[in-house]
Amino acid sequence: MDLLNYQAKTPFTQKHLLTLQDWSEDEIYQCLSHALKLKAMQKSGQKQRCLSGKTLAMIFAKSSTRTRVSFEVGTSQLGGSALFLSTADIQLGRGEPISDTAQVLSRMVDGIMIRTFKQSDLEALAKYGSIPIINGLTDEFHPCQVLADLMTIYEKKGTLKGLKLAFVGDGNNMAHSLMIGCSKLGIDVAIASPDGYKPNPVYTAWSVANAEKHGSKVTVCTDPLEACKDADVLYTDVWASMGQEGETAVRQKAFAGYQINTDCLAVARKDCIFLHCLPAHRGEEVTAEVIDGPHSVIFDEAENRLHAQKGVMALLMGNGGF
C-alpha cells in the first residue's frame, strides 16, 4: 500500500479526535498520508501554511515533553500559533466549569488540544465548545501517540495490514489506543498483562469487533512470551502512569517479569522493531539492551509525533491543502 499517495474513499468529516474508535480506517489512512506528506515537505524545506492565522490552545493537567513540543512546533511550522495553558495557571484548575471554558476558548482560538485525566472532560469540551478538540492523552486513551506509532511502523515495514503487534505491560491508555488503532487497520494485537491490570473489557470488545471487520485478531493473555511470539512490533509502556505515582511500589511487584527483553526478541520475528511512547524506565518495562539496541526505533517514533500531530491539525483545523 502506498500511503503517501493514499486516495481517500470518502471526504474527511470528523470534527474532533477524542478516540480513534470514532475514526474510520479510511480517515486514519488519510491522516497518516497527510503526516507523511507534511514530513516530506518539511524535510525538503517546503513551506506549509494550512494553519495560517489560526491558534491552538494546549491545556495540560499532566506533564509532557513530546506532546507539548510536537503540537507547539507543529502549529508554528503550519503557519499558526499555539498557547500553552497549564491547569495550574488557568481558571479551569480553580474549578471554572469545563462548559464555560469550552465556550470562552471557542470565541478566541481555533482548536483545543488537551491532556487530562478523565475522558469525560474531553467529551464535555466537545459538547459545549464549537471548535475541534484533540486528545493529547487521558487516563483512557492516547490516540495522537498511536497515529505516530502507525506512521513509524509503516515507514519501517512498508505495510500495516497483516502485521502483528505485541504489547507487554499495563492495560492502560496506550494499550487501549494501540488495540483500537491497530484493529481498525487489520494489524493483529496481542496484549500481555498481569491479572488486575488487563485492558478495560469495553475497549477490548470494541477492538475485537474492529478486528473481525478487518480480518485481524485481538487477544489478551497473561504470558509476555505468548504475546511476543512471531510479533513484528514489540511495544511497552511504564508500569505506573501519570496520576498513579502513589501506586508505584505495588505496581513494581505486580509487573515484575512484564518486561521487553532479549527473551521477547528471541520469540518475535527476527526483523521485529521495538517501540515505546516514552518516557521509559530502563530496567523496568524494558531492558537498556533492547531500548538502546538495534531493534529499537524509539527516536524515529518520537520524531513522528511532530509529523503525525501536524497531520491531525491539518485535517481538523486546516484551511485545506497544506
Q: Does 236 bind ligand NVA (CB under 6 A)?
A: no
Q: Which range in 10-18, 238-246, 249-257, 294-302 contacts ligand NVA by CB under 6 A?
A: 238-246
Q: Does 241 bind ligand NVA (CB under 6 A)?
A: yes
Residue of 115, 176, 251, 276 with catalytic role: 115
Query: What gap in Å lies between CA 23 and CA 3, rounded to an integer?
Result: 17
Query: What gap in Å lies between CA 221 and CA 161, rounded to an integer?
Result: 22
Touching ligand CP, residues 249-288 (CB under 6 A): 277-278
Query: What gap in Å lies between CA 123 and CA 129, rounded to an integer?
Result: 10
Q: Does 67 bind ligand CP (CB under 6 A)?
A: yes
Binding residues for ligand CP, rule CB under 6 A, total 8
Active site residue 282: no
Annotate each residue in 13-52 with x if it binds ligand CP (CB under 6 A) or - if it does not, as one string.
----------------------------------------
Amino acid at 269: R
Which of the listed partners (ligand NVA, ligand CP, none) does 65 bind, with a CB threshold of 5 to 8 Å by partner kind? ligand CP
Is the Cβ–Cβ distance between 189 and 212 less than 8 Å?
A: no
From candidates 65, 76, 130, 262, binder to ligand CP by CB under 6 A: 65
Active site residue 145: yes
Active site residue 277: yes
Active site residue 110: no
From candidates 33, 48, 101, 173, binder to ligand NVA by CB under 6 A: 173
CB of 237 to ligand CP, least distance (A): 9
Active site residue 264: no
Residue of 48, 145, 259, 309 with catalytic role: 145
| Sheet with 164-168, edge to edge strand ranges | 218-221, 188-192, 164-168, 233-236, 273-276
- The answer to whether the Cα torsion of 116, 120, 124, 126 is positive or negative is positive
Residue of 176, 228, 277, 295 with catalytic role: 277
Give the chain's length.
Answer: 322
19: closest CA among 164, 173, 220? 173
Query: What gap in Å lies between CA 198 and CA 171, rounded to an integer?
Result: 5
Q: Does 69 bind ligand NVA (CB under 6 A)?
A: no
Q: Does 304 bind ligand CP (CB under 6 A)?
A: no
Q: Mapping DSSP to helix (H, G, I), strand (E, B) and coil, where does residue 249 land?
A: helix
β pairing state of 133-135 and 164-168: unpaired
Q: Mapping DSSP to helix (H, G, I), strand (E, B) and coil, where does residue 116 land?
A: coil
Cis omega before residue 279 (within 30°)?
yes
Which of the listed partners (ligand CP, ligand NVA, none) does 238 bind, with a CB threshold of 5 to 8 Å by partner kind? ligand NVA
Grid cell listed for 97: 466549569
Annotate each residue in 125-154 with x if it binds ligand CP (CB under 6 A) or - if it does not, as one string.
------------x-------x---------
How far is the first Cα of the chain from the last one, in angstroms, to the nearest whole number? Answer: 22
Residues designated catalytic: 115, 142, 145, 237, 277, 305
Which residues contact ligand NVA (rule: CB under 6 A)? 137, 172-174, 237-238, 241-242, 277
Which residues contact ligand CP (rule: CB under 6 A)? 64-67, 137, 145, 277-278
